[in-house]
Structure 1
Amino acid sequence: MTAAEALEEVRRRQAAEGEWLGDATQGRPTFAEAELLDRQGIPSCHVWLVPEREVPSHLSATQALRRWQAGACAMCSAAGGRLLVDHCHQTGLVRGLLCTSCNTAEGLQSAPSFVAYRERPPAVILGVEEMYGSPWGEVIAPSDASPEERIQRNAAHVDAAEALFAGITDRFRPTA
């Protein structure tokens, strides 16, 4: 593919994404408005406009969520910060993108808004599905994985972490 063809493909994809999203990222509740929704048991994403068209085929589920959420947390509408990929630990499926605070709270909360978010997360709203992947590029197996699969997966994580931090920790070891 030539540079001109690649540039044209990028433009085509951007146009398809623009058509898909339309005005769906406009009129989102502010953080203060999202707090009021939360008190009523409603996650912010439940009042966002939903694109009328199907997700463009070149987008993964997580990419579609990133475009639709446009930098806003699905729970509190906070924007401008880092969004984490939230996933269900039982099924392994990506649910949506949450700010650090909401992602931490999601695992600990049984508040009505978090229950509503789990029942109808952004991925369900958009009609997309994707397995959550680990930082090492592997897909996280659902909790019904066999004990052998869990042991192998955990061993791989330990090996990867040790390899990643080996150079760092060696600097802190006393020399003889």
Structure 2
Amino acid sequence: MTISEALKEARRRDAVELEWLGTTTQGRPDFAAAELLDRQGIPSCHVWRVPEGDVPPYLSATQALRRWQDGACAMCSARPNRLLVDHCHRSGLIRGLLCTSCNTAEGLQDAPSFAAYRSRPPAVLLGMEEQYGSAWDGFAQTSTDRAERNAARVDAAEALFRGITNRFGLGEK
């Protein structure tokens, strides 16, 4: 492929993405408005407009999320320098892109907004499914092996966290 052909293909893909996204990235709540939504148990992404039509076939779920989220955290609408790829540790599926604070809190909180986020994350809103990681991470195994391995890791992490919270008197009373 020549440079001219590559540029033409890049422009075509940009046009396809712009058509797919439409105006869905406009009019989103800012951080302050997202805080009010959080108090009502609603993650920010649940009030964003979802693009109509299919995700362009050349985009992975992560790429589609990056385009649609447009630099905004799915929970709080903050626009940090970078967003982290959030994923379910039991299934290995990518859920969405979160700021560092929300990604950390998501793993430690059962607040209604986080429960709502986990039940309908951005990847589900876009109708996408993608495994987090690579074959080197073990995600290329069968879904049963993967689920058992991830459940064991989650159980170990929960036990460790319980031990830490009990040690400092932060456990359930």
TM-score (norm 1): 0.78
Query: CA 1:2 to 1:57, structure 2 compared with 1: closer, same or farther past 3 Å?
Result: same
Q: Could you tell me how far apart the structure 2 residues matched to 1:23 and 1:101 are?
A: 28
Where do 1:63-142 residues align within 5 Å? 63-133=63-133, 139=139
1:54: Cα distance to partner?
1.0
In the alignment, what sits opposite 1:9?
9
Aligned pair 1:24/2:24, yes or no? yes
Q: Could you tell me how far apart the structure 1 residues matched to 2:54 and 2:87 are?
A: 22
Q: Could you tell me how far apart the structure 2 residues matched to 1:55 and 1:123 are?
A: 11
Query: Structure 1 unaligned runs (5+)?
Result: 151-176
CA contact (8 A) 2:20 2:55 kept: yes
CA contact (8 A) 1:133 1:140 kept: no
In the alignment, what sits opposite 2:39?
39
1:70: Cα distance to partner?
0.1
1:14: Cα distance to partner?
0.3
Q: Could you tell me how far apart the structure 2 residues matched to 1:59 and 1:137 are?
A: 22
Runs of 4+ more than 6 Å apart:
none
CA contact (8 A) 2:21 2:68 kept: yes
Query: CA 1:98 to 1:142, structure 2 compared with 1: closer, same or farther past 3 Å?
Result: farther
Where do 1:45-56 residues align within 5 Å? 45-56=45-56
Identity across the alignment (%):
74
Bigger Cα Rg: 1
Q: Could you tell me how far apart the structure 2 residues matched to 1:105 and 1:140 are?
A: 28
Q: Which amino acid aligns with 1:101?
A: S
Q: Could you tell me how far apart the structure 2 residues matched to 1:109 and 1:88 are?
A: 14
Q: Could you tell me how far apart the structure 2 residues matched to 1:6 and 1:126 are?
A: 28
Task: Number of aligned residue pairs: give it.
Answer: 150
Where do 1:152-171 residues align within 5 Å? none
CA contact (8 A) 1:92 1:142 kept: no
Query: Structure 2 unaligned runs (5+)?
Result: 150-173
1:103: Cα distance to partner?
0.2
1:144: Cα distance to partner?
4.6
Q: Could you tell me how far apart the structure 1 residues matched to 2:141 and 2:123 are?
A: 18
User: C-alpha root-mean-square deviation of aligned residues, in Å?
Assistant: 2.4
Q: Which amino acid aligns with 1:4?
A: S
CA contact (8 A) 1:92 1:141 kept: no
SS for the counterpart of 2:97 is: strand
Query: CA 1:143 to 1:32, structure 2 compared with 1: closer, same or farther past 3 Å?
Result: farther
1:80: Cα distance to partner?
3.2
TM-score (norm 2): 0.80
